[in-house]
Amino acid sequence: MSEPRGRRLDTPSPRRRFSFNLDSDVVGVYGERVARFLGTGRYLAIQTVVVVVWILLNLVAVTIRWDPYPFILLNLAFSTQAAYAAPLILLAQNRQENRDRVALEEDRSRAAQTKSDTEFLARELAAVRLAVGDTVSRDYLRKELDDLLDELVDRLREPSDADSDSAPDTNRRRRD
């Protein structure tokens, strides 16, 4: 008779602990919202009105004094608020620092990509300039064709000049 572990009376059952799991991003988002609200003028105005009303009620209304003059309960409320506000503000700062770090890494990679693209385009532009420098321009081609035409014309004239010079010689030979 083998029973599964934990069901036997002679074996202690494992301790079950209540686990309270919160998503850190959800806590961070709400913490940032609270921290942003604590830093607004609206919150400061509301807090100032509450403190002034608290003090006036405790000084003037003799019958409902719940916090007499040294205002210990008010100080306790401020201490509690500060105990929660400080970690929330630190949490918001840490999350902002993480966002800034990610944005900085993205900016660096974007800058590196832009630099490599710029260097590539500079190399391509230099190659185009070299190719254009080696390309025959219209004026250069016209000059070369004119020079070639002049040379051909000179060559064509030379044999006719030689023929006219040699023609009398051939005539002389015939006469001889």
pLDDT on residue 7: 65
Q: Is residue 16 over pLDDT 80?
A: no
Quote the tokens at residue 136.
């025959």
pLDDT on residue 28: 85
* Average pLDDT taken over every residue of the chain: 83
Q: Is residue 132 over pLDDT 90?
A: no
pLDDT on residue 131: 81
| Model pLDDT for residues 34-68, shown as the tens digit of each residue | 888 888 899 999 999 999 998 888 888 777 888 88
pLDDT on residue 102: 95
pLDDT on residue 174: 47
Q: Give the list of residues 6+ apart from residue 58 with CB closer than 8 angstroms, or none.
A: 65, 66, 67, 68, 69, 71
pLDDT on residue 116: 95
3-state secondary structure the chain: CCCCCCCCCCCCCCCCCCCCCCCHHHHHHHHHHHHHHHCCHHHHHHHHHHHHHHHHHHHHCCCCCCCCCCCHHHHHHHHHHHHHHHHHHHHHHHHHHHHHHHHHHHHHHHHHHHHHHHHHHHHHHHHHHHHHHHCCCHHHHHHHHHHHHHHHHHHHHHHHHHHHHHHHHHHHHHHC
The whole-angstrom separation of Cα 158 and Cα 169 is 17
Instruction: Tell me the pTM.
Output: 0.49
Q: Is residue 163 over pLDDT 70?
A: no
If phi > 0 it is left, if psi is from -120 to 50 it is alpha, else beta; for residue 6 that is: left
Taking CA atoms, 60 is separated from 65, 78, 129, 138, in Å, by 9, 22, 89, 102
pLDDT on residue 3: 55
The domain spans of the chain are 24-123, 136-167
